[in-house]
Structure 1
Amino acid sequence: MDLFEDEPQAGGNAPEFTVSEISGAVKRTVEGNFSHVRVRGELGRISRPRSGHIYLDLKDDRAVLAGVVWKGQAARLAIQPEEGMEVIATGRLTTFPGQSKYQMVIEDMAPAGVGALMAMLEKRKAKLEAEGLFAPERKRPLPYLPEIIGVVTSPSGAVIRDILHRLRDRFPRKVLVWPVAVQGERCAPEVASAIRGFNRLTPGGALPRPDVLIVARGGGSVEDLWGFNEEIVVRAAAESEIPLISAVGHETDTTLIDFASDRRAPTPTAAAEIAVPVRLELMAWLDNQGARLARAGTQGIVLRRQRLRDLSRALPRPETLADTARQRLDLASDRLPRALKDLAQGKRNRLVQLSAELAPRRLQDRLRHDRARLDDLSRRLERSLATNAARERARLDAVSARLPGAGAAGLRRRRERLAGLRLSAAPLARGLAHGRADLARLAPRLPKAQETRLRDLSARLTALERIRLSYDHGAVLARGFVLVRDADGALVTSSGTPAPGSALELEFSDGRLDAVAAGTSGRPAAKPAAKKKPPSQASLFDE
Structure 2
Amino acid sequence: MDDADPPRSNAAEFTVSELSRAVKRTVEDGFGHVRVRGEISGFRGRHSSGHCYFSLKDVDASIDAVVWRGSYARLGVKPEEGLEVIASGRLTTFAKKSSYQLVVDQLEHAGLGALMKLLEERRKKLAAEGLFDEARKRPLPTLPRVIGVVTSPTGAVIRDILHRVADRFPTHVVVWPVRVQGETSGAEVAAAVEGFAGAYGGPRPDVIIVARGGGSVEDLWGYNDEAVVRAVVASPIPVVSAVGHETDWTLIDHAADHRAPTPTGAAERVVPVRSECLATLSDRARRLDVAMATLLNRRSADLRLLARGLPVGPALLQTPRQRLDMSADKLVGALFKATAEARRRYLGTASRLSPHTARRPLVHAADRLSHTAHRLTRAADAVLTERRGHALRTGARLHPLLLERRLVEAKAETRRLVVRRDRAIAALLTAERSRLDGSMKLLTAVSYTAVLSRGFALVRRENDDPVHAAADIAPGEALELEFADGRVRVVEGTSGARPAMARIRPVRRSKKADDDTQGDLF
2:289 pairs with 1:291: no
How far does residue 145 in structure 1 lie from its aligned partner after superposition? 1.3
2:79 pairs with 1:91: no
- Separation in structure 2 between the aligned mates of residue 348 and residue 275 of structure 1, nearest angstrom: 96
2:445 pairs with 1:449: yes
- Separation in structure 2 between the aligned mates of residue 429 and residue 59 of structure 1, nearest angstrom: 124
The C-alpha deviation readout for 1:165-221, integer Å capped at 9, x for no partner, is 11111011222222222223332233223323333345xx4x222222212111122
**Matched position secondary structure for 1:98:** coil
- Separation in structure 1 between the aligned mates of residue 143 and residue 446 of structure 2, nearest angstrom: 96
Q: Which amino acid aligns with 1:147?
A: R
Mean CA deviation greater in 80-89 or 244-253: 80-89
How far does residue 355 in structure 1 lie from its aligned partner after superposition? 2.0
The C-alpha deviation readout for 1:234-289, integer Å capped at 9, x for no partner, is 23322323221111111111111111111111011101101101100001111111
- Separation in structure 2 between the aligned mates of residue 407 and residue 343 of structure 1, nearest angstrom: 78
Instruction: Determine the structure 2 residue equivalent to 1:256.
Output: 251
Q: CA RMSD in A?
A: 4.1
Q: Which amino acid aligns with 2:63?
A: L
CA contact (8 A) 1:146 1:212 kept: yes
Instruction: Determine the structure 1 residue equivalent to 2:515.
Output: none
Instruction: Determine the structure 1 residue equivalent to 2:514.
Output: none
Map 1:510-521 → 2, pairs under 5 A: none
Instruction: Determine the structure 1 residue equivalent to 2:78.
Output: 80
Map 1:214-225 → 2, pairs under 5 A: 214-225=209-220
How far does residue 434 in structure 1 lie from its aligned partner after superposition? 8.3
2:27 pairs with 1:23: no
2:176 pairs with 1:192: no
Q: Which amino acid aligns with 2:322?
A: Q
Q: Which amino acid aligns with 2:54?
A: L
Task: Number of aligned residue pairs: give it.
Answer: 422
Instruction: Determine the structure 1 residue equivalent to 2:128.
Output: 130
- Separation in structure 2 between the aligned mates of residue 270 and residue 211 of structure 1, nearest angstrom: 18
2:294 pairs with 1:319: no
Map 1:261-410 → 2, pairs under 5 A: 261-364=256-359, 367=362
Stretches of structure 1 lacking an aligned partner (at least 5 in a row): 1-8, 397-405, 411-415, 459-543
Stretches of structure 2 lacking an aligned partner (at least 5 in a row): 1-5, 398-409, 455-522
Instruction: Determine the structure 2 residue equivalent to 1:465.
Output: none
2:152 pairs with 1:154: yes
CA contact (8 A) 2:149 2:175 kept: yes
Instruction: Determine the structure 2 residue equivalent to 1:483.
Output: none
Instruction: Determine the structure 2 residue equivalent to 1:522.
Output: none
**Matched position secondary structure for 2:48:** coil
**Matched position secondary structure for 1:322:** helix
Mean CA deviation greater in 436-445 or 276-285: 436-445
Instruction: Determine the structure 1 residue equivalent to 2:516.
Output: none
Mean CA deviation greater in 270-279 or 23-32: 23-32
* Distance change in 2, residues 1:316/1:408 (3 Å): same
How far does residue 109 in structure 1 lie from its aligned partner after superposition? 1.2
How far does residue 104 in structure 1 lie from its aligned partner after superposition? 0.5
Q: Which amino acid aligns with 1:238?
A: V
Instruction: Determine the structure 2 residue equivalent to 1:504.
Output: none
- Separation in structure 1 between the aligned mates of residue 364 and residue 171 of structure 2, nearest angstrom: 115
How far does residue 83 in structure 1 lie from its aligned partner after superposition? 2.2
Map 1:404-419 → 2, pairs under 5 A: none
Q: Which amino acid aligns with 1:26?
A: V
Q: Which amino acid aligns with 2:314?
A: E
- Separation in structure 2 between the aligned mates of residue 88 and residue 218 of structure 1, nearest angstrom: 27
- Separation in structure 2 between the aligned mates of residue 117 and residue 379 of structure 1, nearest angstrom: 125
- Separation in structure 1 between the aligned mates of residue 28 and residue 272 of structure 2, nearest angstrom: 64
CA contact (8 A) 1:201 1:208 kept: no
CA contact (8 A) 2:214 2:243 kept: yes
Mean CA deviation greater in 164-173 or 43-52: 43-52
Q: Which amino acid aligns with 1:221?
A: S
Instruction: Determine the structure 2 residue equivalent to 1:513.
Output: none
- Separation in structure 2 between the aligned mates of residue 227 and residue 435 of structure 1, nearest angstrom: 111
Q: Which amino acid aligns with 2:190?
A: A
CA contact (8 A) 1:218 1:249 kept: yes
Question: What TM-score, normalized by structure 2, do the two folds share?
Answer: 0.70
Map 1:109-188 → 2, pairs under 5 A: 109-188=107-186
* Alignment partner of 1:64 out of 62, 65, 71: 62
Instruction: Determine the structure 1 residue equivalent to 2:98.
Output: 100
CA contact (8 A) 1:51 1:71 kept: yes
**Matched position secondary structure for 1:247:** strand
CA contact (8 A) 2:358 2:443 kept: no
* Distance change in 2, residues 1:133/1:80 (3 Å): farther
CA contact (8 A) 1:248 1:268 kept: yes
CA contact (8 A) 2:132 2:254 kept: yes
CA contact (8 A) 1:355 1:454 kept: no
- Separation in structure 1 between the aligned mates of residue 449 and residue 177 of structure 2, nearest angstrom: 110
Q: Which amino acid aligns with 2:163?
A: H
* Distance change in 2, residues 1:252/1:379 (3 Å): closer
Question: What TM-score, normalized by structure 1, do the two folds share?
Answer: 0.68
CA contact (8 A) 1:93 1:105 kept: yes
How far does residue 84 in structure 1 lie from its aligned partner after superposition? 2.2
Mean CA deviation greater in 220-229 or 322-331: 322-331
CA contact (8 A) 2:242 2:263 kept: yes
Identity of aligned residues (%): 51
CA contact (8 A) 1:166 1:273 kept: yes
2:241 pairs with 1:241: no
* Distance change in 2, residues 1:242/1:75 (3 Å): farther
- Separation in structure 2 between the aligned mates of residue 177 and residue 433 of structure 1, nearest angstrom: 109
